[in-house]
Amino acid sequence: MSQTVTKKLMLFFPRCECEKPIIYHLVKDYNLVVNVFRAKVTPEEEGYLVLDVTGIEEDIERAMAFLRTFNVSINYSGKGVTRDENICTHCGLCITHCPTGALRIDDKTTREVIYSEADCIECMACIRVCPFGALASAF
């Protein structure tokens, strides 16, 4: 029995692929559980999608191969919200605005603010409150 895993992905759909029901097939044909955090279709009819897919490793791999048959680009690190490490000063103003603890202080001695992308649900609250503009949305 294969282990169930969850992967966070960011997908980019070029104009020609935007109207196809691709995610539907991930569920129907590859038995994946999808959890969409954020989706956007631009005025140029390009699409962005950040989601978790949960399923057995083989199914996820087959699903990715299926995605690649379209012109969809797959970013496996799932970075819809990014932090510029050169800009962040680790002040900690974002922490209380982050609902999932993706932004948090683990080391009480250095008080470094860490950003765990895997825990981010892309609510984008941090982008609005960061005084230094360290956080940004990919779309």
Partner 1 sequence: MKTYEQINDRIESGKAVVLTADEIIDYVDKKGLAAAAKEVDVVTTATFGPMCSSGCFLNFGHSKPKIRMSEAWVEDVLVYTGIAAVDVFLGATQLRHGDPANMYHPGEFRYGGGHVIEDLVAGRKLQLFALSYGTDCYPLREIRTYFTINDLNQAIMVNPRNCYQNYNVGINDSDRPIYTYMGTLEPERKNANYCSAGQLSPLLNDPYYDVIGVGTKVWMAGAQGHVYAEGTQHAGACERTPGGVPKGGAGTLALTCDMKKMRPDFVRGVTFRGYGVSLALGIGVPIPVLNEDVLKRTCVRDRDIMAPVIDYSHDYPQNNGKVICSVNYEQLRSGQIKVEGKKVAVGSLSSYYKALEIANLLADEIRRGDFRLAEPITPLPKDTKMKPLVTRKKPS
Rounded-to-10 torsion of CA 130, 134, 138, 139 = 40
Residue 133 interacts with partner 1 (CB under 8 A): yes or no: yes
Tell me the two tokens of residue 71.
């012109």
Using the rule CB under 8 A, give the single segment among 4-12, 18-26, 77-85, 126-134 that binds partner 1.
Answer: 126-134
Through-space distance between the first and last CA atoms of the chain, rounded to whole angstroms: 38
Nearer to partner 1, 28 or 90 (CB): 90
Nearer to partner 1, 65 or 129 (CB): 129
Residue of 105, 121, 123, 136 interacting with partner 1 (CB under 8 A): 105
Residue 41 interacts with partner 1 (CB under 8 A): yes or no: no
Residue 85 interacts with partner 1 (CB under 8 A): yes or no: no
Rounded-to-10 torsion of CA 51, 128, 40, 28 = 20
Minimum CB distance to partner 1, residue 52 (Å): 26
Residue 111 interacts with partner 1 (CB under 8 A): yes or no: yes
Please name the helix (run of DSSP H) or strand (run of DSSP E) that holds residue 123, with its range, or none.
none
Among the listed residues 139, 136, 117, 124, the one whose alpha carbon sits nearest the alpha carbon of residue 7? 117
Residues lying near partner 1 in the complex (CB under 8 A): 89-97, 105, 108, 110-113, 128-129, 131-133
